[in-house]
């Protein structure tokens, strides 16, 4: 039976492979034309967090955050890791090429914004609709009542490289405790009690 943490990551992986979300494949590009993802996973049972920000070249950023959380759980359980965190290239941490997550649509979107910033032209964008959905998140409860929350994002379009939003900050974009789980997408807050 999967845990709540495993379930939230499973859900995020499907979003990270979708071309209509701003997480993983097809996410917003930085000023330099790269994808930099951020993600947080919170386990309500253990109160531990796995998070990372400005991640490039990882096919599924949620898998990286899950590995960090699993390593923290091993340390928390008192397992002997000899003070080392061993990650290496192991499934599901598939290293992707520099432009793997850059799609034709996101590259065109980046080029549009790059031209606008380079020309320093004020363009009225009122009425334009962006077809891409925003940051993705999930909240799950497993069969024993443990909850988990996770949030994944590619950040804002044309962001400064290294800029990290709430999705990569522990307990700011999402949080979980066995009584409550929550994820926050910009100004919209979803809370489950």
**What pLDDT is recorded for position 151?**
92
Using CA atoms, how far apart are residues 167 and 53, in angstroms rounded to an integer? 8
Residue 191: helix, strand or coil by DSSP?
A: strand
**What pLDDT is recorded for position 130?**
55
Residue with tokens 């590619």: 154
Residue 154: helix, strand or coil by DSSP?
A: coil
DSSP 24: S
**What pLDDT is recorded for position 74?**
77
The CB density around residue 180, as the number of other CB atoms within 10 Å, is 14
Are the CB atoms for 168 and 184 separated by under 8 Å? no
- Known catalytic residue: 135? yes
**Per-position pLDDT tens, the chain of length 193:** 899 999 999 999 999 998 888 888 889 999 899 999 999 999 999 999 999 988 988 888 999 999 989 888 876 665 554 444 444 444 555 566 777 788 898 889 888 888 877 775 454 444 455 555 678 899 999 999 999 999 999 988 888 888 888 888 888 888 898 876 666 665 555 444 4
Catalytic residue of the set 5, 21, 40, 135: 135
- Calculate the alpha carbon distances from 111 to 71, 87, 170, 174, 184 in Å: 39, 35, 32, 32, 29
Are the CB atoms for 139 and 11 separated by under 8 Å? no
Residue 102: helix, strand or coil by DSSP?
A: coil
- Calculate the alpha carbon distances from 179 to 10, 25, 167 in Å: 22, 33, 21
Residue 73: helix, strand or coil by DSSP?
A: helix
Q: Which residues are CB-contacts of 132 (< 8 A; sequence separation ≥ 6)?
A: 20, 21, 22, 26, 28, 109
Using CA atoms, how far apart are residues 156 and 132, in angstroms rounded to an integer? 12
**What pLDDT is recorded for position 150?**
94
Cis amide linkage into residue 62, ω under 30° from 0: no
**What pLDDT is recorded for position 140?**
93
**What pLDDT is recorded for position 139?**
92
- Structural domain boundaries of the chain? 4-192
Q: Name the token pair of 147.
A: 């909850």
């Amino acid at each position: 039976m999967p845990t709540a943490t495993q379930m939230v990551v499973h859900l995020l992986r499907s979003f990270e492979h979708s071309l209509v979300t701003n997480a993983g494949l097809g996410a917003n590009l930085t000023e330099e034309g790269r994808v930099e993802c951020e993600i947080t996973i919170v386990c309500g049972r253990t109160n531990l967090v796995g998070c990372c920000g400005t991640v490039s070249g990882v096919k599924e950023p949620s898998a990286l955050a899950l590995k960090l959380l699993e390593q923290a759980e091993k340390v928390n359980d008192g397992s002997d890791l000899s003070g080392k965190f061993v990650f290496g290239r192991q499934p599901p941490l598939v290293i992707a090429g520099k432009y793997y997550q850059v799609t034709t649509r996101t590259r065109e979107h980046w080029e549009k914004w790059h031209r606008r910033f380079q020309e320093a032209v004020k363009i009225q964008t009122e009425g334009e609709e962006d077809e891409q959905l925003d940051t993705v998140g999930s909240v799950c409860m497993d069969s024993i009542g443990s909850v988990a929350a996770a949030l994944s994002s590619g950040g804002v379009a044309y962001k400064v490289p290294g800029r990290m939003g709430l999705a990569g900050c522990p307990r700011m974009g999402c949080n979980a405790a066995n009584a409550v789980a929550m994820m926050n997408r910009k100004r919209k807050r979803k809370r489950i009690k």
